[in-house]
Amino acid sequence: MGGTVALPDTEASDAHPYDPFAAFDDVVAGTARDPYPELAIRRRETPLARRPALFGESWIAYRYEDCSRILRDAKTFTSTGYDTTIGAVMGHMILGMDDPEHRMHRNLVAHAFREKSLTRWEPELIGPVIDGLIDRFVVDGEADLVRQLTFEFPVRVIARLLGLPDEDFPRFHRWGIELIGLSADVDRGLAASQSLRDYFAGIVADRRAHPADDVISDLVAAEVDGERLSDEAIYSFLRLLLPAGAETTYRSSGNLLFLLLTHPDQLEAVRADRALIPQAIEEGLRREPPLLTINRTTTRRVEIAGVTLPVGASITPHIGSANHDETRWEDPERFDIFRPAVPHIAFAHGPHMCLGMHLARLETRVLLGRVLDRLPGLALAPGATDPHIRGDVFRSPTALPVRFDAA
């Protein structure tokens, strides 16, 4: 397909090329095509199910009501377990903190990601990044929108927000993919974590001496009630931005494009009326959230769905199942951008609600607008080999072959 570009800075042998994109998707994300019929059965028959675990008790919640309750009650359901899992590569981060530490750190970093703070980046940064990627294939009349657009654009946006030099992007992107794919290749994941820490150390030191108009400078200068972020806290937050900000946005934007392309009437409605874009984004997030599960640990005995859990039990709110709960949405399997607005939990809920949700929505809004503006006649490529969304933990299409009227 014309305009295809290689993944950045990959290592390969002639016989066995290393593709971090494929390695992560196959091992970590999973391959389930449609988990939702089975999830509907579980909501109905075993809304809180025990699952095998090496240590202690482990449970998974499937109903919206229970998942929302777990996420809202951070005192009973702590997220500190992340410190001993992904904390091995991310460091001590806000995702694994409880209050008051969590509140203090979140306040220190939140100002850089407030909706009003981010809108200034749309014309200066987000739009140009997306246009630059579309420029690579717009004359071809065909493209794979995953490999050539959605996979790369959120990482490029984050790199620009952080003020990283363009020439550093290939290795920054590769480290990010390998960091996220820790369980696919532990050695690569740990090495990427250290490489990012060393890289950010140099950038943070430079910003302390020479502040700039970027997020790293904001983090270095942030102060709340006399408290500042330590350098290690900044490194951990910056490493967390890659899976939290880039991975999920690449998947959610790909999911939305797939859903619209497979529902041409709704795609044409959005093309004709761009005011529909925000509700299309929300319905895409509800119907196909990019991340299906997150984890919490009980801090006291608690009853969920008629089952009493002990202290220290691992419990997983299943976001994908919750977003398809038929008690909350009529015909939840249907993708319908015109359905009544009912809040979903694709960005979680409660104190740990996604800090980057405003950025994710803004990026997706700009992306969809640019795609509709610059790729007239956009449709799935005739004869494309069964493009579809897949995944058990993370979900997205791994390819999205399209055709359009060439510029």
What integer pLDDT is reported at residue 273 of this predicted model? 97
pLDDT above 50 for 407? yes
153's enclosing H/E stretch is helix 153-161
What integer pLDDT is reported at residue 239 of this predicted model? 83
Dmax (CA) for the chain in angstroms is 62
pLDDT above 50 for 396? yes
Q: Which is more confident, 259 or 98? A: 259
Cα separation of 37 and 278, whole Å? 27
Domains of the chain, each with CATH number or no CATH: 33-375 (1.10.630.10)
**∠146-248-144 over CA atoms, to 5°?**
0
- 55-105 confidence digits (pLDDT tens): 668 999 999 999 999 999 999 999 876 666 665 666 666 666 677 776 766
pLDDT above 80 for 204? yes
What integer pLDDT is reported at residue 10 of this predicted model? 41
pLDDT above 70 for 251? yes
pLDDT band at 11 (very low <50, low <70, confident <90, very high): very low
pLDDT above 50 for 2? no
- Which among 285, 234, 247, 253 is positioned nearest to 112, based on CA atoms? 234
**Average pLDDT of the residues in 229-258:** 86
Partners of 397 in beta bridges: 389
Cα separation of 187 and 283, whole Å? 38
**Average pLDDT of the residues in 246-274:** 95
Query: And the tokens for 98?
Result: 């409880």
pLDDT band at 300 (very low <50, low <70, confident <90, very high): very high
How remote is the C-alpha of 230 from its chain's centroid?
Answer: 26
Q: pTM for this one?
A: 0.88
Cα separation of 91 and 88, whole Å? 6
How remote is the C-alpha of 257 from its chain's centroid?
Answer: 15
What integer pLDDT is reported at residue 326 of this predicted model? 97
Q: What rounded mean pLDDT belongs to the chain?
A: 85
Cα separation of 99 and 89, whole Å? 22
Query: And the tokens for 253?
Result: 């934007």
- For the chain, the distance separating the N- and C-terminal CA atoms, rounded to the nearest angstrom, is 16
Q: Which of the 8 DSSP states describes residue 318?
A: B
- 99-156 confidence digits (pLDDT tens): 777 676 667 677 666 666 677 788 889 999 999 999 999 999 999 999 999 998 998 9
What integer pLDDT is reported at residue 339 of this predicted model? 96
**SS3 for 17?**
strand
Residue 291's Cβ-count burial label (10 Å; 0-12, 13-18, 19+) is buried
What integer pLDDT is reported at residue 115 of this predicted model? 61
Cα separation of 64 and 324, whole Å? 8
- 216-231 confidence digits (pLDDT tens): 998 888 876 777 888 8
- Which among 240, 214, 281 is positioned nearest to 79, based on CA atoms? 240
- 166-183 confidence digits (pLDDT tens): 888 888 888 887 877 766
Identity of the amino acid at 178: E
- 13-54 confidence digits (pLDDT tens): 344 455 655 655 555 567 889 999 999 999 999 999 998 766
What integer pLDDT is reported at residue 351 of this predicted model? 79
70's enclosing H/E stretch is helix 64-72
Residue 369's Cβ-count burial label (10 Å; 0-12, 13-18, 19+) is middle
Other CB atoms within 10 Å distance of the CB of residue 124: 10
Buried b (16+ CB within 10 A) or exposed e, 374-385: ebeebebbeeee
**SS3 for 401?**
strand
Interacting residues of 292 by C-beta distance below 8 A, sequence separation 6+? 35, 318, 319, 320, 321, 391, 392, 393, 394, 395
Identity of the amino acid at 106: R
Other CB atoms within 10 Å distance of the CB of residue 205: 12
- 332-348 confidence digits (pLDDT tens): 999 999 999 999 999 98
pLDDT above 50 for 254? yes
What integer pLDDT is reported at residue 94 of this predicted model? 65
